[in-house]
Structures are given as structure tokens and as C-alpha cells.
Amino acid sequence: MLARSQAESNQLTDANENSRFLPGVSFPSGLRVSSDISQVITSSDLIIIAVPSNSFRSNVSLIKPFLSKGIPVLSATKGLEIGSNKRMSEILLDELHDELHECVCVLSGPNLAKEIIAGSPASAVVASEYPDSAEAAQDILTSATFRAYVSRDVVGVELAGALKNVIALGAGFCDGLAIGDNAKGAFITRGLAEMSRLGVALGAQPVTFAGLAGIGDIIATCSSSLSRNHYVGEQLAMGRTLAQISAHMDNVAEGVNTTKAAYALSKYMNVEMPIVSVTYNVLFEGLLPKDAVSRLMERPVGFEQ
């Protein structure tokens, strides 16, 4: 595991745990921590980048001199870059030399970290334009409790993972307003439909949104009290402001930034995304969650598709 500094590396090694994000969970015995980028990267068979989306590009630029052909570079980050609205694999393609493009992989799926740490069974999708890279990552990631499926739909897998956080915020509104499971089921269904519409406009396969990275992740996220995005939505619905909520969270809720990027992308691509729009209005323009839900309920009915 690559630490950002010698001091952080020492602290992590001495504590034998990540005291900030996972207090009380000891590192597995095989894990070694170092801040020596060259040493960490060149001794690894698989590079997993799991940092917030807003520091993804800077982290990639730090490690890129040490990457080499044949070693997959896998993004586990579920978000979009603010400003460019790019997916994490697009950042990798921007930053990495052409001959390393075949290393680029992405991972997404219903993977609440605390459950994986507890040894509960989980599954995910590894996508790459290059099947050899996806299969190499699959081989390393698959275990008795973790199943990795491969896919070639990089755009779909990444967008599903990122956009589901926006839907989780909205599902949090539903739970915070206590409007019931019928409404929440309808809300998530409409959310998935608009994610899929944007994805298809950007080149994704619709079937990906019906898979683990889409429905699977949405169900896990929206039914779990472990989701930060769902928590933020719920707290907003209960009357707190984004600033108040953020002040008490150690970790950014990716859905907040992703809402901004998804809102921009939907305008740019001219794709109707009513849930993304009202979530944007709630987060950044003061719309009340109850008015957001009413606005969605008042849309005209007609044919379902």
C-alpha cells in the first residue's frame, strides 16, 4: 500500500491499521506499507487506484513514471472529474503513455467496504477495452468470497458506478421523508432509466446498467445504512444543510461532486435527467427535498418508456 509520506507510512505500519477510516481492523499479514513510489509500483502485479475522484489525476501523475506494460492499472474510484466531467479511465488515458493504455481497467459493483472486510460474499465487474488486462485483474481479485466478472463496457461500468451515487442521494431523500418503499422503488427505477439514457448517449451498453455495476450497486447502496451518499440525502431531507452535514464527515460523499458533473453532462448531451436535475437543485440551489420529490411526482404520466 502506497502511503503519501514517510510519516504516514510509519504511522500506518506502527498502528497496523488505518486508524482514520477503519479503526479496529488490523491489516492482513501480507500487507506492506511504503511511501517509496518506485518500490511499491514496480513490485506490484496489479495497481489499484482507490482515491477520491478529485485527487485521482494528481495521484496518477505521481505513479505514472513507474508503471510498465503487462501490469493492469485498475481504477476503483466511483466518480467523475469536476470541470472536465471525465471518467477515471479517461484521466488514465490522458495521463499515461500510449503503450500503457492497454493496462487500463475499471472496477465497479456492490462493494460496501465494511462488508468485504468482514468477509461477507461480494461480487463486482472488471472492465477493460483489453480482455487480457481485465482477466489478469480478475485472476488476482477473485477469492473464496469475492467474485469478479469481466466486461468490455468500460464506459457503462464507470458511469453506473459514478451515477448510482446521485441516485443514492435521492433515495436518501425518500427515506428521510419516510414516503415509503413503493415510492423508493419507483424512484430508483426512474433513476436507473436516466443513468442508462445518459450512458447510452455516451457509448455504454444498456445491459451494463441492468448488471452488478448498475442495479446491483444501487440496491446495495440504497438499502444500506453504510452508504455515505444515502446518509447525505437522508440528512438533507431531515432539514440539515449540505455545509452542516459535510462538516461532520471525514470522507467526501462522491455523489455531491458527481451530481455537478452529471448535471453538466446531461445538459451537454441533451439527455433528460429529472432526478439528477432536482438533486442538483437541492444540493446547490436550495430546493427542499420534499419539493424535489413532489416535482418528480407531478411529471405527466403516459407510456412507461
Residues found near a second copy in the complex (CB under 8 A): 109-112, 115-116, 118, 120-123, 125, 138, 142, 147-151, 179-186, 188-189, 192-193, 196, 207-212, 214-224, 226, 293, 297, 301-305
CB 229, min distance to a second copy, A: 14
Angstrom distance (rounded) from CA 195 to CA 185: 15
SS3 label, residue 7: helix
Side chain identity at 183, as an amino acid letter? A
Please identify, using beta-carbon distances, which residue of 79 and 110 lies nearer to a second copy: 110
In 3D space, the residue among 189, 210, 180 whose CA is nearest the CA of residue 275 turns out to be: 189
Find the catalytic residue in 78, 164, 184, 260.
164
Please identify, using beta-carbon distances, which residue of 193 and 271 lies nearer to a second copy: 193
Angstrom distance (rounded) from CA 170 to CA 273: 13
Q: Does residue 164 have an active-site annotation? A: yes
Contact, 99 vs 69, CB < 8 A? yes
CB 64, min distance to a second copy, A: 29
Please identify, using beta-carbon distances, which residue of 64 and 152 lies nearer to a second copy: 152
CB 71, min distance to a second copy, A: 22
Q: Which residues contact 7 (CB under 8 A, 6 or more apart)?
A: none
Please identify, using beta-carbon distances, which residue of 94 and 291 lies nearer to a second copy: 291
Cell of 298: 407531478
Locate cell 432539514: which residue? 239
Provide the 10 A C-beta neighbour count for residue 122. Answer: 20
Please identify, using beta-carbon distances, which residue of 229 and 257 lies nearer to a second copy: 229
CA geometry: angle 54, 136, 227, nearest 5 deg: 40
Provide the 10 A C-beta neighbour count for residue 25. Answer: 15
Positive or negative, the Cα torsion across 181, 182, 186, 187?
negative
In 3D space, the residue among 110, 59, 52 whose CA is nearest the CA of residue 81 turns out to be: 52
CA geometry: angle 27, 254, 261, nearest 5 deg: 145
Q: How far from chain centre, in Å, is Cα 250?
A: 17
Contact, 49 vs 77, CB < 8 A? yes
**Calculated CA dihedral for residues 5, 8, 12, 15, nearest 10 degrees:** 150
Residues designated as active site? 164
